[in-house]
Amino acid sequence: MAHPEMEENQISLDSLEKGIDNPAFESPGEEGLHEENHDGPRGGSKEERQGEGKGRVSSYCRKALQPASKAKRFCKAHAKTLRMVAWGIFGVAYLCYLIAACWLNFQRALALLIITAVVVFFTLWSLFKKYCGAKVLQLLSPVQKCFQKSWRWLKWLLIVVLLGGLVTWLALDTARNPEQLISLAGFCFILLFLFVFSKHHSAVSWRAVFWGITLEFLIGLFILRTTPGIQAFRWLGDQIQIFLGYTKAGSVFVFGNTLVEEVFAFQSLPIIVFFSCVMSILYYLGAMQWLILKISWLLQFSMGTTPTETLSVAGNIFVGQTEAPLLIRPYLADMTYSEIHAVMTGGFSTIAGSVMGAYISFGIDAASLIAASVMAAPCALAMSKLVYPEVEESKFKGKESVHIASGEEQNVLEAASSGAAASVGLVANIAANLIAFLAVLEFINAALLWFGEMVNIKDLSFQMICSYVLMPVAFLMGADWADSPVVAELLGIKIFLNEFVAYQQLATYKKNRLDGLEEWNGGQKQWISERAETITTFALCGFANISSIGIMLGGLTSLVPHRKSDFASIVLRALLTGICVSMLNSCLAGLMYVPTEVSDCVTFFGTANFTSTSYPIYTCCKQLFARWVCGRATGRVWSCRVLPGDPCAWGWQTGLGWDWLVELARMSHLLHPPAAGHSQHPASQLSGSLWEDEEPGVSL
């Protein structure tokens, strides 16, 4: 019969061996163990001796880990306090760093200071809403009730004030630049066109239309006409270009420097992989969801749209036409036709952030691309409600907001890997489409050339047809008549082929301008003005093309298969609306665009350090010649002459020196004949003496 103490000890040791913590077990001291070993039987089995040894080790480990367990319990009990202390230490350290950065070089640290101020503002605002929001709303409830009673006439007063301010601003602004009125006329014409093709004219929500256009106008005014907006978006565009430049490190490592420098596929397409990776990380951290929700709240509050359609359109600023509907996937089955039309229009009216990076790598102005994407969101929602008004009862009308599902990634590394892997299909799709579309375009041009030669029409091509058919549209958007055929050609390529191809050709025109090529080469325009470039950048910024119909239908049908017929019945109307949204954006860009290269040509020529192919010099030269040929003084205007050739282009190309042009600038400013000895310069070779006095004391 076994000894009772031995049985008890055996149970405890067996339990420890299996990993079960026995709270009744207490490890004896060294003396107790020594006595137990002497008192107990010395001849136990091998298993018993092993179990006894493991029990001693487990006991010692438990004693050694007691401080760690106590520390863990303390951290759990005071987690909130410790978290606040850690954030406090981090905040103080960052504040010291920010002060040091501003002290050493304030201009260099200005961007960091602005970013910090924005983050602090939204953090304090969130804390204020969390702890004081309900109390403040309760205190303001009497004011809210009074405001609601007076809202019927207050809203009309607000509309009159806004319209009056807009008309006054337009009258003052366009007085200096009358060509802006063409863009305004184009804006009004496109609005009228969309209203004519509205599905339900009597059901149009004019609140959504008015506030959508107002938000688009205010955003455009801030970005294109205010100094802080211009500087902020120019800085943002520069930073994005620098950030996307880091793609080269990975591309060179994988493909080699030669391929990256010379081959388009290895130069631009890897940027999409990098950008997709970064976007996936931002989604994992919750930054993108937060930003999309804030934009969605602003649009929903001002325009009175439902949260589902608003959230999708806001998401289209950052993601593509197939990714944005994923934000509202649980709600697609119950959405009305008007809401689905808004979702589609938002997808057609904007571009994804990933392909934006590729366009920036072409040389397209980053600030214009960002501005076009942001301005398109309220305009797309407004035009969607103009073309396809709501006539059904939405199930989401009373909802304050909808839930955005987070990703399934467990950490940042997994999110980065998932984003990069997800972009492979997009990159392959873009490469395949470029190969196919450019090949098809070449075939179409060859066929048209063959048909044209049959009736003695030379150089007939798809681009030529587009340039003639869409030239009035390009002119109404604000492009000069000379630039309109090129803008129309790019617009046609975007609509009927692909915006990727159109942006590539626009980048070629821009490069020709910056390289100093002649504007005309045998009747062929080699580049367009900077104003036309800006207008075209806005007009091309959107996925609204024929090939996107299949992408849109495929993406939505995969989410809600039983509504395939509903999607098919709406998609063409949404495509037309998306095309018009991009045109409205370009009209607004033409209305607000003001050249900023040179404010004073005389000062510029006297102080600037420039090359012979500088575009601002060319612009200034043409302005000065226009001023000399059409002289104006003391309120009298003298006769104008047409100058043969283009002496500005001649001087730009030859690079033989600009001293004659500097003198011309000085003389234009003083309205005084130039000094003798300038006859050998190109300006004197014009028909008729440029320096002849047609009025006493004034040279023309």
pLDDT tens figures, 208-245: 999 999 999 999 989 888 888 888 888 888 888 888 88
Secondary element (H or E) of residue 509: helix 499-515
Question: In angstroms, rounded to a whole number, what is the distance separating the alpha carbons of residues 112 and 98?
Answer: 8
Domain count, the chain: 5
Closest CA to 251 of 274, 231, 228, 225: 274
Q: Where are the beta strands (DSSP E) in 351-421?
A: none
Within a domain: 181: no
Secondary element (H or E) of residue 525: strand 524-525
- Does residue 690 share a domain with residue 607? yes
pLDDT band of residue 248 (cuts 50, 70, 90) is: confident
Within a domain: 469: yes
What pTM was estimated for this model as a whole? 0.74
Q: Mean pLDDT in the chain?
A: 77
- Does residue 443 share a domain with residue 371? no
- Does residue 200 share a domain with residue 165? no
Q: What is the pLDDT of residue 52?
A: 59
Q: Provide the domain limits for residue 652.
A: 601-699
Q: Any idea which of 165-179, 180-194, 456-470 has the lowest mean pLDDT? A: 165-179
Within a domain: 422: no
DSSP assignment of 35-83: HHHHHS-S---HHHHHHHHHHHHHHHHHHHTHHHHHHHHHHHHTHHHHH
Within a domain: 316: yes
The 8-class DSSP code of residue 331 comes to G
Q: What is the pLDDT of residue 65?
A: 65
- Does residue 615 share a domain with residue 558? no
615 neighbors 556 (Cβ within 8 angstroms):
no
Backbone angles phi, psi at 605, to 5 degrees: -70, -25
- Does residue 563 share a domain with residue 585? yes
Q: What is the pLDDT of residue 24?
A: 42
- Diameter of the chain measured on Cα atoms: 140
Torsion, CA 325, CA 328, CA 332, CA 338, rounded to 10: -80
- Does residue 610 share a domain with residue 661? yes
Per-residue pLDDT reduced to its tens digit, 580-611: 999 999 999 999 887 655 445 555 555 555 55
**223 token code pair:** 């970005």
- Does residue 629 share a domain with residue 510? no
Per-residue pLDDT reduced to its tens digit, 351-361: 887 788 888 88
Question: In angstroms, rounded to a whole number, what is the distance separating the alpha carbons of residues 396 and 177?
Answer: 46
Backbone angles phi, psi at 636, to 5 degrees: -105, 140
Question: In angstroms, rounded to a whole number, what is the distance separating the alpha carbons of residues 559 and 333?
Answer: 9
- Residue at which a domain ends, from 75, 98, 120: 75
Q: Any idea which of 56-70, 340-354, 625-639 has the lowest mean pLDDT? A: 625-639
- Does residue 224 share a domain with residue 158? no
Q: What is the pLDDT of residue 450?
A: 92
- Does residue 366 share a domain with residue 297? yes
Of residues 196 and 633, more confidence is placed in 196
- Does residue 622 share a domain with residue 673? yes
Q: What is the pLDDT of residue 400?
A: 60
Per-residue pLDDT reduced to its tens digit, 459-517: 888 888 988 899 999 999 999 999 999 999 999 999 988 888 899 999 999 998 888 78
Within a domain: 281: yes
Within a domain: 682: yes
Cβ-based burial of 445 (10 A; exposed 0-12, middle 13-18, buried ≥19): middle
- Does residue 389 share a domain with residue 250? yes
Within a domain: 182: no
Closest CA to 349 of 110, 545, 588, 139: 545
Backbone angles phi, psi at 525, to 5 degrees: -80, 130
The alpha carbon dihedral of 373, 378, 381, 383 has a sign of negative
Within a domain: 93: yes
Per-residue pLDDT reduced to its tens digit, 616-630: 666 666 655 555 444
pLDDT band of residue 136 (cuts 50, 70, 90) is: confident
Strand pairing partners for 632? 637
- Does residue 457 share a domain with residue 315? no
Tokens 């003298």 belong to 638
- Residue at which a domain ends, from 541, 575, 592: 592
Q: What is the pLDDT of residue 108?
A: 86
Q: Which amino acid is at 372?
A: A
